[in-house]
Amino acid sequence: MVWNPNDNDEKILKYLYDYREGGKAKNMINYIPMRKSTVYKRLKILEKHNLITLENKWYRLSNGEVGFIDKLLKHDKKIFELHNPGYVVRLPEVPKWWNPKGTQMRNKLMMLKGYLFKQIDFGKDSSNPYLQLRNDRFIIQMYPEAIIVIHRKRYYSDDAYELTKEFMNDFYDLWTWFEDKMKFKFFKDGTPQMTLRGHDYNRMNDWFANKLKKKKENFLVEIGDGRKVWVDASEPHGREANTPEIQVIMGRDIKDKVLNKPLLNSELQSLVGEIAQIQKIEVTNKAEYSRDLVEHKEAIKMMSKNTEENTKTIKMLVGIVSDLKEEVKRLKK
C-alpha cells in the first residue's frame, strides 16, 4: 500500500527540516498551527514510516530521508541555504538586575515559557559565567555586557540576499519579544550593537560539490578580509560561502558558463599566444616600414640637394651665355 504524507505531515516535516537538530513534541505545538492531539498522532505515523526518529523525547529527521523531504517540500528547487546564523549583541546599557551571578536575573529567565534554562560556569574558576535559554529554535547566551544568539533554523531561497532578509526578520521578531519580556530596551537607536559571528551560505547540490562528494574530498578557499568559500560533504552538500555576495558571484559565473560558453583557460592562453605572435609580426613590419620611410626621406633630401646645385649651375651657365651674346654684339659693331 502506497502512503503519501498529508498537509499536517508536511507541516511537521517542514519544522524538522528547518530546525535540523530536531525538537520535542510539546515545543512543536507552540509553532505548528495544529491541535495537540493531531501533532502527536501525525508524529507517530511519520515515525512508523521511518521519516523521523525519536530519541530521548527528541524528534529528528531520519538519516537518508533528507532528499525525499527536499522534493516533498519542493526545497530541491531552492538553490541557496543559510544555516548556523549567530550574532553578538553588545549591551551599552543594562537594567539594574542584569547580573548572571544574581538571583533576580536568574528568576526572570526561568519564568520564560518554551525555553530550557541553564546556568553555565564558564572560564577558569568560573570567571566568565553566563545564563542560557534554549529551545528548538534558538540558543541565547547572556553575559554581563553582551548576548550571543544562535538561530537553529535553516533558510531556503533561490536568492542569496532573500535568505538574509528572512534571517533579519526573525532577528527583529526575537529581539522585540525579548525586550518585551525583560521590560527593558536593550537596543539603542543609532548605536551599532549587533555583529555576526557565524553564518554559512550554501549553494545546494552544486555540480562541483557533487563531484567532490563522490571522491570524498573537501577543501577551503580563504579569499581574504574574513571571506571564505568551501566545499564539503555536508547535508545538503554544496559550495558554501560566508557572504551572500560571494554566492551571487558564483551563481553568475556558472550561469555565464552555461549560457555563453566562454573559452576555457587553456583556449584563452592559446589565443593570447596567437595574438602576441600577430603583434610581433606587426611590430616587425612597422619597423621595416619605418626604415624604408627613413631611406625614402634621405633620398628625397639628396635629390633636393642635387636639384639645388643643378639650379645654381644652370643659373651660372645662363649668365655665361648672356655674357657671350653681349660680347658677340660688341665685336660686330
pLDDT digits (tens, 9 = 90+) for 280-293: 666 566 556 566 66
Residue 86, burial from CB neighbour count under 10 angstroms (0-12, 13-18, 19+)? middle
Q: What is the pLDDT of residue 312?
A: 60
Q: What is the pLDDT of residue 105?
A: 93
Work out whether strand 130-134 and strand 138-142 pair parallel, antiparallel, or are unpaired.
antiparallel
Q: Residues 299-322: what's their mean pLDDT? A: 58
> How confident is residue 237, by pLDDT bands cut at 50, 70 and 90?
very low
Q: Cell 535568505 sits at which residue?
A: 163
Q: What is the pLDDT of residue 96?
A: 93
Going by C-alpha positions, the residue among 199, 208, 200 that lies closest to residue 250 is 208
Q: What is the pLDDT of residues 24-61, one digit of tens each?
A: 888 888 888 889 999 999 999 998 888 889 988 889 88
Q: What is the pLDDT of residue 118?
A: 92
Count of CB atoms within 10 A of residue 77's CB?
10
Q: Residues 149-158: what's their mean pLDDT? A: 84
- On the question of pLDDT at 163 being above 70, the answer is yes
- Give me 66's grid cell: 533528507
- On the question of pLDDT at 198 being above 60, the answer is yes
Q: What is the pLDDT of residue 1?
A: 40
Count of CB atoms within 10 A of residue 244's CB?
19
| Average pLDDT of the chain, as a whole number | 75
Q: For domain 7-72, give its CATH number from 3.20.20.190, 3.30.565.10, 1.10.10.10, 3.40.630.30.
A: 1.10.10.10
Asked if residues 85 and 42 have their Cβ atoms less than 8 Å apart, the reply is no
- Omega before 92 cis (within 30°)? no
SS3 content of the chain, % helix, strand, coil (to 5): 50, 20, 30
